[in-house]
Structure 1
Amino acid sequence: MNKVMSNKWIIALYILPALLLVAVLIFIPLILTGYYGLMDWDGIGEMNFIGLENYISALQDGKFWDSAWHSLLLALFSTISLIIYLVISLILASKIKGASLLRKIYLIPMLLSSVAIAQLWIKVFNPTNGMLNHILMAVGIENPPAWLAEPNIVLFAIFVPILWQYAGFYILIYYAALKNIPESIIEAARIDGATPFQIAYRIKLPLIMGVVKLTIVLAVVGSLKYFDLIYVMTGGGPNGASEVMASYMYKLAFSSNDFGYGSAIGFLLLLITLLITVIVRKVTATKEEIQY
Structure 2
Amino acid sequence: MNKMMSNKWIIAAYMMPALLLLGSIIYVPIFLTAYYGLHKWNGIQAMEFLGLANYKTLVGDRAFWSSAYHSLLLAVFSCLSLIGYLIISLVLASRIKGAQLLRKIYLIPMLLSSVAIAQLWLKIYHPSNGLLNVFLERLGFADTPAWLAEPSLVLGAIFVPILWQYAGFYILIYYAALKGVPKEVEEAATIDGASAWQMAWRIKVPLISEVLKVTVVLAAVGSLKYFDLIYVMTNGGPNGASEVMASYMYRIAFKSFDFGYASAVSFFLLLICLIVTWLIRRATASDDKIQYS
Shorter-chain TM band: over 0.9
Deviations 1:90-123 (A, max 9, x none): 0000000000111111111111111111111111
- After TM superposition, give the deviation of residue 75 of structure 1 in Å: 0.2
Instruction: For 2:30, give the aligned amino acid.
Output: L
The worse-fitting range, judged by mean Cα deviation, of 18-27 and 63-72 is 18-27
Structure 2 partner of 1:122: 122
Aligned residue number for residue 212 of structure 2: 212
How far apart, in 1, do the equivalents of 2:283 and 2:216 lie? 11
Which AA in structure 1 matches 2:177? A
Q: Deviations over 1:232-253 (max 9, x none)?
A: 1100000000000000001001
Any idea what the Cα deviations from partners look like across 1:180-220, whole Å, max 9, x if unmatched? 00011111111111110010010001100110011001100
For residues 222-233 of structure 1, the aligned pairs below 5 Å read 222-233=222-233
Letter in 1 for 2:178: L
- Structure 2 residue runs of 5 or longer lacking an equivalent are none
Sequence identity (%): 67
Between the aligned partners of 1:9 and 1:134, the Cα distance in structure 2 is 70
> Pairwise mapping of residues 83-94 of structure 1 onto structure 2 (< 5 A)?
83-94=83-94
Query: 2:201 maps to which residue?
Result: 201
Structure 2: how far apart are the matches of 1:10 and 1:132?
63
TM-score (norm 2): 0.98
Pick which of 8-17 and 88-97 moved more.
8-17
Distance in 2, Cα, partners of 1:9 & 1:269:
37
1:234 aligns to what?
A: 234
Give yes or no for contact 1:110–1:168 (8 Å, CA) kept in 2. yes
Amino acid corresponding to residue 185 of structure 1 in structure 2 = V
Partners of 2:190 and 2:140 lie apart in 1 by 47
Q: Distance in 1 between matches of 2:108 and 2:147?
A: 24
CA distance, structure 1, for counterparts of residue 66 and residue 253 of structure 2: 18
Please name the residue that 1:255 is paired with. 255
Q: What residue ranges of structure 1 are gaps of 5+ in the alignment?
A: none
User: C-alpha distance in 2, partners of 1:5/1:102?
Assistant: 49
Secondary structure of 1:214 counterpart: helix
Q: Determine if contact 1:210/1:289 at 8 Å carries over to the other structure.
A: no
CA–CA distance in structure 1, aligned partners of residues 182 and 290 of structure 2: 13
Q: Which residue of 2 aligns with 1:286?
A: 286
Q: Following the alignment from structure 1 to structure 2, what is the Cα–Cα distance between the partners of residues 147 and 124?
A: 10
Partner of 2:267: 267
Pairwise CA RMSD: 0.9
Partner Cα distance (1:263, 1:68) in 2: 16
Which range moved further: 282-291 or 87-96? 282-291
1:67 and 2:100 aligned = no
Structure 1, residues 12-45: CA drift from partner, whole Å, max 9, x if none?
A: 2222222111111111111000000000111110
- 1:2 maps to a residue whose letter is N
Contact persistence 1:127–1:133 (CA under 8 A): yes
Other-structure match for 2:174: 174
Amino acid in the other structure paired with 2:227 = F
* Aligned match of 1:136: 136
Instruction: State the 1:7 CA deviation.
Output: 2.4
Corresponding letter in the other structure for 1:169? F
Q: 1:158 aligned to 2:158?
A: yes
